[in-house]
Structure 1
Amino acid sequence: MRVMPRIKPDSGGTITFFLAHGAGRQMCRLATTFLTQKQAFSYLHKNRTEIERIARSRLASGELEDGVVVLSML
């Protein structure tokens, strides 16, 4: 998994990461309520296994928004 930070300063933000999918990569976006990038990354790393499982499940079922797997906090 490769993580690209994209935190919005107002009401939370998002973290964009990529899942390895065969020979390619799938973009995923995790919406958070955290106000700092450090808090959001900590949450992502603590829950990485579960977040990846949900992202792969949504990818397999075709639940994409504009080609992106969109997730929210657990």
Structure 2
Amino acid sequence: MNTVRMILCGNVEDSRMNPSEKVGVVSVVFVSTEEEKIKNKLKELQDKNPENFYMEYVTPLDVDLTSLEHYPSIEISKNDLQ
């Protein structure tokens, strides 16, 4: 089965619509089929931006991710936004 690896980044930013409010943002920041590239990039990003939360996720190709028991996501609580 072919898989793709991705790095997700979760962080808190000022809202573009209302700068006095904070919003949680989750982004896919890097994608590769090669595990070593992902590991190196993950370390680089964590070292460069320690205030952000990064996670690696591996998923099969050509699959409806919502059909899986778990798919790429990062939980952001209200406390994270304060």
> What is the TM-score with the length of structure 1 in the denominator?
0.32
Q: Identify which of structures 1 and 2 has the higher relative contact order when contacts are C-alpha pairs closer than 8 Å and 6+ apart.
A: 2
> What is the TM-score with the length of structure 2 in the denominator?
0.30
Q: Flag the structure with larger Rg.
A: 2
Which structure features the higher share of helix residues? 1
